[in-house]
Homo-oligomer: A and B are copies of this chain.
Amino acid sequence: MNQDRPTKKTTIYDLAELAGTSASAVSAVLNGNWKKRRISSQLAEKITRLAEEQGYAINMQASLLRREKSKIIGMIVPKYDNRYFGSIVETFETMARERGLFPIITCTRRDPELEVEAARTMLSYQVEWLVSTGATDPDRISDICGAAGVGSLNLDLPGTKAPSVISDNFTGARELTRRILVNSERKLGAARPLLFIGGRGSDHNTAERVRGFRAAHADIGIPVDERHILTCGYAPEKAEMSLQALAMAEREVPSGMFVNSTISLEGVMRWIKRSGHYVDHSPVMGCFDWDPFAALLGDEIEMVRQDVQGMLNAVFEVIDHGARGASLIEIPPVFVDSNYALINDPMV
């Protein structure tokens, strides 16, 4: 394809000259509205063939500059290091492309400054929408977008200045806790109070999950030990250190745990393995998030899988049909058995 001109890119003007016609005819043909512009099909065919031969690729910068809509949609994501965010990104890309939108995704590593910088950069690229996933300060991003007349949306963590799509953390956590307690009763003879570990006490999701955790304990009338609510952050090391500190402070080791994310679960499993406390009796466990290998660890670990497809359906529902203020849309999560079959949420 065009090996005589090594570097210079073919433009519609080059094609126009080759076809002996005008750039505007070429443009009309190549963007498909040549019928509307009354170009003959002979000319259309000739131009199409030439474009093919020359390996022509439109210059989006020029095209977008002229057009009113960019068809670019941005997403900010904290990390790529777990299945949840990976799945969000992959589904988002697919759904965006289905709508003829061009997705731009960037990873901001839970860094508030990077988030803001990334949002500004996306605005420079004329995104029409910006989806902030798990952003530390979603309202700040909504403000920036709002000032530029660009729509924004929060995913995973809610904000107050844009529509937010999140998991139903309270109900999910309550059901997950209930299941762990049932396992506790089955394996230990009695439902013993659980330990909660992972996440930040200040973030909405963690707060809601703790609330669900408490509710499930209350439902069966057993107390929650306040010292066993360890919202120590998400990093695996934090979870590991918290458990180590707890084990040193108390004589007994927890018999059951609610782990707030797979990231925290990494640290928990490491501690369980390294501490040597659970050689013959593994703890009853549950995790608010899903990972295929984690699901195979130990003997049964209850897992909640956040309904990524459902959440992104809600996101694109807002994008396709407009938002209603700063609404909060809660999507019920899904429970997973150890054979990987998805079980519909029994609570709904």
Contacts and interface: CB of A to CB of B under 8 A. Distances in A.
Contacts of A270: 296, 340
A104 B62 CA distance: 18
B57 A120 contact: yes
B104 A104 contact: yes
Interface in A1-20: 1-3, 6-9
B125 A107 contact: no
A348 interface: no
B297 A148 contact: no
B8 A149 contact: yes
Interface string A302-321: 00000000000000000000
Contacts of A106: 93, 103
A121 B102 contact: yes
A273 interface: yes
A81 interface: yes
Contacts of A292: 236, 266
Interface string A271-285: 001100000000000
Interface string A85-104: 11101100100000000111
Interface size class of A (residues with CB under 8 A): 35 or more
B274 A149 contact: no
A291 interface: yes
B89 A1 contact: no
A323 interface: no
A273 to B, nearest CB: 6
Contacts of A123: 57
Contact of A149 (B9, B103, B297): B9
Contact of A62 (B57, B65, B291): B65
Q: Give the one of A79, A85, A107, A270 with max B CB within 10 A.
A: A107
A57 B93 contact: no
Contacts of A55: 144, 147-148
Contacts of A60: 61, 124-126
A264 to B, nearest CB: 12
A100 to B, nearest CB: 11
Nearest to A93: B107
19 contacts: A2-B147, A57-B124, A58-B124, A59-B124, A61-B61, A61-B64, A65-B65, A79-B86, A79-B90, A80-B89, A80-B90, A89-B107, A90-B107, A90-B109, A93-B107, A269-B293, A273-B296, A293-B297, A296-B297
